[in-house]
């Protein structure tokens, strides 16, 4: 069994076990989401993290430095971490996106019950920083530079800016995914797919919600699991305004505001006005939509603990990425078109074209987003080699070879 398959299997198992346990014990949605992500992190650490940490520890280079210099650097890193956490507290207290999110509200309301957990996490953080510093090839990292900046010492500006970009990415997407997971878990408790007749519209919708839940649990875990000790750290972040714009515009609170200002492509008549529920066409159409959604989640599973937007955390070449460079974006957009197309027809010519045009704009944004990611990742020779491999052996290359091999009529 390959290491890649083992990590992907543990990814699915960790998330599924977490969701199942939280559903079985019937806790509130926020606690259920926390349990789901915790089980996922445990699975990643046991299967991938600890073996990687042992290899790093065994191959570490001994440094010729006095203990005072080591502990002074550790202290500076803890100051840097405290400064970054201070920025998080200020952001979560000021910006409406955070103050109005269900995840932040729950964390504030539950703070009196999480004090023991916070103390344990603080102790574990100190141990983690010490261990990571000892195995790092270059211990003078961005956390150390943030600490130097907070202490009014000389610092590298590029490292501090990197830390702030990384913090913005983690805060925005972690809150977004955790809040989305809370909503999805509440829906799972109220409207589980297995409560409806198989192959019915409600059954397919329930499965789609379950797929979405799995995806946001995996994503939330990925934004937490940026542990350098395990090799899951961020190597680089997106630095261009266009790259950030085409990414965050796809999410709340930006996309709903833009969509409702024009024509919301998702609002309109239901499927039943065009495709009869239970018919062969309905079942085939629903299966195709669900299949695309599963491919999308498979792409997230392939990332494992390295999932993130706007960052470079290693080149993924397994799973659906063996066949196409952007399987998540392609499958997601096909699923959206399949889901919305019958409603476009039922809306009439003018409204249907307007709503289809809005979805076409969304698809165009994802094309721009894919190009921005390629520009960022292409600085890494490993990505350029991967792109060449997909161009030579991917789905499009295989299709071209097959078409070329067909004899002329």
Tokens of 247: 């990414």
DSSP state, residue 2: -
Mean pLDDT across 368-388: 95
Q: What is the pLDDT of residue 292?
A: 96
Note the pTM of the prediction, 2 decimals.
0.92
- Of residues 103 and 1, more confidently modeled: 103
How buried is 109 (Cβ within 10 angstroms: 0-12 exposed, 13-18 middle, 19+ buried)?
exposed
Quote the distance between the C-alpha of residue 162 and its chain's center: 19
Q: Is the dihedral of CA 97, 304, 107, 234 positive or negative?
A: negative
Please tell me the distance from the alpha carbon of residue 388 to that of residue 252, in angstroms, as a whole number.
35
**Contact assessment for residue 227 and residue 43, using Cβ atoms and an 8 Å cutoff:** no
Rounded average pLDDT over 148-177: 96
**Segment 117-146 mean pLDDT:** 92
- Condensed to tens digits (0 to 9), the pLDDT of residues 210-269 reads 999 999 999 999 999 999 999 999 999 999 999 999 999 999 888 887 777 665 666 767
Q: Is the model's pLDDT at 408 over the cut of 60?
A: no
Determine whether 219 is exposed, middle or buried from the number of CB atoms within 10 Å of its CB (0-12, 13-18, 19+). buried
Closest CA to 342 of 285, 296, 292: 285
pLDDT of 201 > 80? The answer is yes
pLDDT per position as a tens digit, 72-126: 999 999 999 999 999 999 999 999 999 999 999 988 888 767 678 778 888 999 9
pLDDT in tens, 33-77: 999 999 999 999 999 999 999 999 998 888 888 889 999 999 999
Share of the chain above pLDDT 70, in %: 95
Indicate whether 189 pLDDT > 90. no
> Quick one: pLDDT at residue 222?
96
Q: Which residues pair with 236 in a beta bridge?
A: 312
Q: Which residue has the higher pLDDT, 289 or 407?
A: 289
Does 330 have pLDDT greater than 90? yes
Average pLDDT of the segment spanning 332-342: 91
């Amino acid at each position: 069994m390959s290491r890649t398959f083992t990590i992907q299997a543990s990814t699915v198992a960790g998330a599924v076990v977490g969701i199942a346990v939280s559903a079985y014990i019937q806790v509130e949605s926020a606690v259920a989401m926390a349990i789901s992500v915790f089980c996922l992190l445990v699975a990643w650490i046991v299967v991938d993290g600890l073996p990687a940490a042992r290899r790093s520890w065994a191959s570490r280079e001994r440094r010729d430095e006095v203990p005072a210099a080591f502990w002074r650097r550790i202290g500076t890193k803890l100051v840097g971490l405290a400064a970054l956490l201070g920025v998080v507290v200020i952001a979560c207290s000021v910006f409406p996106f955070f103050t109005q999110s269900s995840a932040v509200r729950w964390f504030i309301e539950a703070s009196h019950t999480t004090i023991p957990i916070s103390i344990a996490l603080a102790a574990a953080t100190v141990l983690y920083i010490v261990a990571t510093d000892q195995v790092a090839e270059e211990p003078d990292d961005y956390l150390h530079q943030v600490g130097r900046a907070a202490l009014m010492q000389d610092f590298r500006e590029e490292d501090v800016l990197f830390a702030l970009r990384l913090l913005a990415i983690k805060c925005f997407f972690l809150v977004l995914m955790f809040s989305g997971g809370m909503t999805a878990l509440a829906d799972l408790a109220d409207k589980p797919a297995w409560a409806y007749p198989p192959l019915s519209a409600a059954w397919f919708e329930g499965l789609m919600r379950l797929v979405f839940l799995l995806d946001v649990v995996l994503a939330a875990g990925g934004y937490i699991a940026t542990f350098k000790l395990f090799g899951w750290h961020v190597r680089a972040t997106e630095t261009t305004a266009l790259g950030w714009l085409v990414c965050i515009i796809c999410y709340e609170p930006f996309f709903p505001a833009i969509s409702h200002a024009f024509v919301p492509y998702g609002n309109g008549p239901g499927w039943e006005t065009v495709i009869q529920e239970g018919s062969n066409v309905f079942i085939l159409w629903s299966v195709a939509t669900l299949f695309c959604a599963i491919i999308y989640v498979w792409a997230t599973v392939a990332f494992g603990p390295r999932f993130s937007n706007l960052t470079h955390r290693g080149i993924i070449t397994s799973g659906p990425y063996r066949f196409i460079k952007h399987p998540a974006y392609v499958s997601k957009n096909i699923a959206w078109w399949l889901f919305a197309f019958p409603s476009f027809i039922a809306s009439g010519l003018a409204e249907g074209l307007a709503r289809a045009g809005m979805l076409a704009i969304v698809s165009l944004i994802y094309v721009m987003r894919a190009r921005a990611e390629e520009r960022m990742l292409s600085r890494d020779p490993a990505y350029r080699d991967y792109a060449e491999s997909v161009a030579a052996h991917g789905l499009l290359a295989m299709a071209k070879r097959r078409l070329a091999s067909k004899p002329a009529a």
